[in-house]
Amino acid sequence: MSKEQQSGQAAAQSVAPATGKLGVMVVGLGAVATTMIAGVEAVRRGLAKPIGSLTQMGTIRIGKRTDSNSPLIKDFVPLARLDDIVFTGWDIFEDNVYESAAHAAVLKPETLHKLKPYLESIKPLPAVFDQHYVKRLHGTHVKKGKNKRDLAEQVRADIRAFRKTVDRVVMIWAGSTEIFLEPSAVHQSIEAFEKGLESDDPAIAPSQIYAYAALTEGVPFANGAPNLTVDIPAMVELSKRHAAPVCGKDFKTGQTFMKTVLAPAFKARMLGVSGWFSTNILGNRDGEVLDEPQSFKTKEESKLGSLEYIFQPELYPDLYNDIYHKIRINYYPPRGDEKEAWDNIDIFGWLGYPMQLKVNFLCRDSILAAPIALDLVLFLDLAKRTPELKSIGIQEWLSFYLKSPQTAAGLYPEHDLFIQSMKLKNTLRHIMGQDLITHLGLDYYD
């Protein structure tokens, strides 16, 4: 019997309960972070529903279809309750969460007003920042240190101080997209990385200083941006060594979410694709940062991968060998966070006859991202309490939420949303000692 086929009864007995407070440290208190924090508080007060959050609204089928047993996910696995979450974070601006949320203008002033005292009480800690890595931002609320090692130690001190006030801690990067960095020698081992911290190696970005501090403190880390951050051998090693689960990269929200739904549908029906042109207008601070070519390159790489992996042109050369895939992100201030995305997809069917599909998604970026950030935090905390998951490093079962899923070395990522969803739910069944669902279903016809 393979590991996946075992019922995992032993694991079920040992997932530690979510007792006490869960401290959530958010790097970057911008649009996504403040929408998540304000949203959690609104839900806690009964002012709104946590729509878009699988951990809060989703169910999971246990057993056969005829068993009629589909509990809520949050009742099936021991997740931290929203009432037990305590937020803190860092930013390069001094604005408290109320001011930052007002600036981001995602949530309406009347919503923010109701939550004002709470949101004002969350004030950012000074950040680790260097403008070299995010050219468009000029922050003043930043830490000073003699080298990157010193800055990492300061973040570790922040974590330790916060940990005294809560029972468990998780960190999530909701900061800006950094310039494109490729893995280099300094990223290959913990030793090389630590030497690089001492010598201020330019290949170590601020996001990696936070991640290093988190993992060294045994704190799980999620990467919501397309930055390299934890997608390097040194961080994966640290994650395993300190039983601090990691996942990344880049919240899968609007256009890529749709791509990873539509592309599997074309492939399932053996329809060919000759071109996929995606363009966006976006006017928030994220859009402004992405207007800078080096940050755009990081985002572009993250967005481009999904189609190639889903279509597997090496297996289907007649259908997908020659796709022209283009992605544009245009900074357009009047739209703020209300991004508009257009996709033109040129497909072909029986005997090669061409067809077109147009998708026009008028979305709200941070409204889509906030529940993803919340779910990642809650699931990483669960992973940390699950003996079978806590020391494996990358939590590939969370790919469902990510545009450019991090995987073990040499393993191609699964981008198909429905495969990702099945993987996530089967992981939950597995750790709780329940049978996996394969959708074979022949036993209904015995």
**In this chain, which of 60, 127, 345, 417 binds ligand NAD, going by CB under 6 A?**
127
410-439 footprint of ligand NAD as x/- string (CB under 6 A): ------------------------------
- 203: nearest Cα among 175, 238, 228, 171: 228
- Please give the C-alpha separations between residue 191 and each of 28, 105, 218, 239, in angstroms, as whole numbers: 28, 43, 18, 14
Cβ-closest position to ligand NAD: 30
Cβ proximity to ligand NAD, 43 vs 222, nearer residue: 222
Cβ proximity to ligand NAD, 29 vs 152, nearer residue: 29
| Exposed/middle/buried for residue 331 (C-beta within 10 Å: 0-12, 13-18, 19+) | buried
CB-CB neighbours of 322 under 10 Å: 12
Contact 35, 107 (CB under 8 A): yes
Cβ proximity to ligand NAD, 82 vs 369, nearer residue: 369
Find the shortest distance in angstroms from Cβ 412 to ligand NAD.
21
Produce one character per residue of 300-316: b if its CB has 16 or more CB atoms within 10 Å, e if not. bbbbbbbbbbbbeeeee
Residue with structure tokens 């755009």?
296
176 touching ligand NAD, by CB under 6 A: yes
231 touching ligand NAD, by CB under 6 A: no
Largest CA distance in the chain: 71
Choices 152-160, 279-287, 328-336, 419-427 (CB under 6 A): range interacting with ligand NAD: 279-287
212 touching ligand NAD, by CB under 6 A: no
Residue with structure tokens 């440290």?
25
399 touching ligand NAD, by CB under 6 A: no
Find the shortest distance in angstroms from Cβ 287 to ligand NAD.
8
Produce one character per residue of 17-35: b if its CB has 16 or more CB atoms within 10 Å, e if not. ebeebbbbbbbbbbbbbbb
Find the shortest distance in angstroms from Cβ 388 to ligand NAD.
29
371 touching ligand NAD, by CB under 6 A: no
Choices 52-60, 263-271, 283-291, 421-429 (CB under 6 A): range interacting with ligand NAD: 283-291
Cα 197-132-301 angle, rounded to 5 deg: 95
402 touching ligand NAD, by CB under 6 A: no
Helix (H, G, I), strand (E, B) or coil at 370: helix
Give the whole-angstrom CA distance, residue 383 versus residue 300.
30
228 touching ligand NAD, by CB under 6 A: no
**Contacting ligand NAD within 9-68 (CB under 6 A):** 27-33
Q: DSSP string of 215-253?
A: HHTT--EEE-SSS-TT-SHHHHHHHHHTT--EE-S-B--
Give the whole-angstrom CA distance, residue 231 versus residue 406.
7
285 touching ligand NAD, by CB under 6 A: yes
335 touching ligand NAD, by CB under 6 A: no
**In this chain, which of 40, 82, 119, 134 binds ligand NAD, going by CB under 6 A?**
134
**In this chain, which of 41, 91, 194, 416 binds ligand NAD, going by CB under 6 A?**
91
Tokens of 64: 């056969």
**In this chain, which of 24, 92, 197, 383 binds ligand NAD, going by CB under 6 A?**
92
Cβ proximity to ligand NAD, 39 vs 78, nearer residue: 39
Give the whole-angstrom CA distance, residue 383 versus residue 397.
10
Choices 154-162, 262-270, 320-328, 364-372 (CB under 6 A): range interacting with ligand NAD: 364-372
Can you name the residues that pair with 171 across neighbouring β-strands? Answer: 25, 221
**In this chain, which of 79, 225, 238, 382 binds ligand NAD, going by CB under 6 A?**
225
Q: Which residues bind ligand NAD (CB under 6 A)?
A: 27-33, 90-93, 104, 127-129, 134, 137, 139, 174-177, 206, 224-225, 250-251, 253, 284-286, 289, 365-366, 368-369
